[in-house]
Structure 1
Amino acid sequence: MNLSPERDSERRLSGPVPFGATTSEVARSWERCEGDWKLDPSQRWKADVLSGAEFRHVSGRSVKLVQVAMPEMRRLFGLVQGLGLMALLADPDAMILARCIDETHEPLCRRLRLREGALWSESEAGTNGIGTVVRDCCPLFLGEGEHWRFCFSLLASYAVPIFDAQGIVAGAINLAAFSGNETRPAAPLVLDALMQAGRRIEEQLFRERYAGERVLTLGPADGCSSPLVSINDDGEITGATHAARKLTGWTDVTIGKHPHLLHELESGDALSFQKAEESVIRSALVLSKGNAVATARSLGISRATLYRKMKVMGLR
Structure 2
Amino acid sequence: MNGKQKSVSETESDSLSRRLTYPVAPLNAPHVQQSWQRCMSAYNLDPAQGWTADVLSSAEFLHISSRSAILLKSAMGEMRRLFKLVQGMGLMVLLADPDATILARCADETHLSVCRRLYLRKGAIWNEAVAGTNGVGTCIKEQCPIFLGQGDHWRFCFSLLASYAVPLFDAQGQLAGALNLAALSGNTTRPYAALVTETLMLSGRRIEEQLFRTRYEGDRILTLGPAEDCSSPLVAINTDGEVTGATHAARSLMGWTDDMIQDHPHLLGELNSEGAVSFEKAEESVIRSALAGCQGNVSATAQSLGVSRATLYRKMKALNISD
TM tier, smaller: over 0.9
SS in structure 1 at match of 2:67 = helix
- Encode CA deviations 1:131-183: one digit per residue, 9 max, x unaligned: 11112111111101111111111110011111100001111111101111001
Q: Could you tell me which amino acid in structure 1 is paired with residue 256 of structure 2?
A: W
Match of 1:295 in 2: 301
Contact 1:199 1:225 in 2 (8 A): yes
CA 1:15–1:245 in structure 2 vs 1: closer, same or farther (change >3 Å)? farther
In the superposition, relative to structure 1, how do residues 297 and 129 fare at CA in structure 2: closer, same or farther (>3 Å)?
A: same
Distance 1:96 1:13, change over 3 A: same
- After TM superposition, where is structure 1 displaced by more than 6 Å over at least 4 residues in a row? none
Structure 1 counterpart of 2:41:
35
**RMSD of aligned alpha carbons:** 1.6
Q: Aligned pairs, how many? A: 309
User: What residue in structure 1 maps to residue 192 of structure 2?
Assistant: 186
Q: TM-score, normalised by structure 2?
A: 0.93
- Distance (whole Å) between structure 1 residues aligned to residue 252 and residue 166 of structure 2: 17
Q: Bigger shift: 239-248 or 17-26? A: 17-26
1:203 aligns with 2:209: yes
Separation (CA, whole Å) in 2 of partners of 1:254 and 1:18: 46
Q: CA deviation at 1:21?
A: 2.3
Secondary structure of the 2:236 match is strand
- Cα distance, 1:107–1:178 mapped onto 2, change above 3 Å: same
- Contact persistence 1:227–1:242 (CA under 8 A): yes
Instruction: Write the letter of the residue equivalent to 1:306.
Output: L
Query: Pick from 64, 70, 76: which aligns with 1:64?
Result: 70
* Equivalent residues in 2 for 1:115-154, closer than 5 Å: 115-154=121-160
Which of 13, 17, 20 matches 1:17? 20
Aligned to 1:305: 311
In structure 2, the residue matched to 1:268 is: 274
- Residue 212 of structure 1 aligns to a residue whose secondary structure is coil
Aligned to 2:107: 101
- Aligned equivalents of 2:15, 2:175: Cα separation in 1: 33
Cα distance in structure 2, aligned partners of 1:306 and 1:183: 49
Q: Which residue of 1 aligns with 2:52?
A: 46
Indicate if the aligned counterparts of 1:133 and 1:160 stay in contact, CA closer than 8 A: yes
Q: Is the Cα–Cα contact under 8 Å of residues 134 and 161 in structure 1 kept in the other structure?
A: yes
Letter in 1 for 2:82: L
| Separation (CA, whole Å) in 1 of partners of 2:54 and 2:295 | 54
Residue aligning to 1:240: 246
Which residue matches 1:170?
176
Structure 1 regions of 5+ residues with no counterpart?
A: 1-7
Give the Cα separation in 2 of the matches to 1:18 and 1:26. Answer: 12
Instruction: For residue 11 of structure 1, give the secondary structure of its aligned residue in structure 2.
Output: helix
- How much does 1:269 deviate? 2.4
Stretch moving more, 156-165 or 265-274: 265-274
> Are 2:81 and 1:78 equivalent residues in the alignment?
no
**Partner of 2:284 in structure 1?**
278
Of all paired residues, the percent bearing the same amino acid is 65
> Quick one: distance in 1 between partners of 2:80 and 2:109?
15
Q: Look up the SS of the partner of 1:181 in the other structure.
A: coil
Amino acid at match of 1:12: S
Q: Decide which moves more: 264-273 or 173-182.
A: 264-273
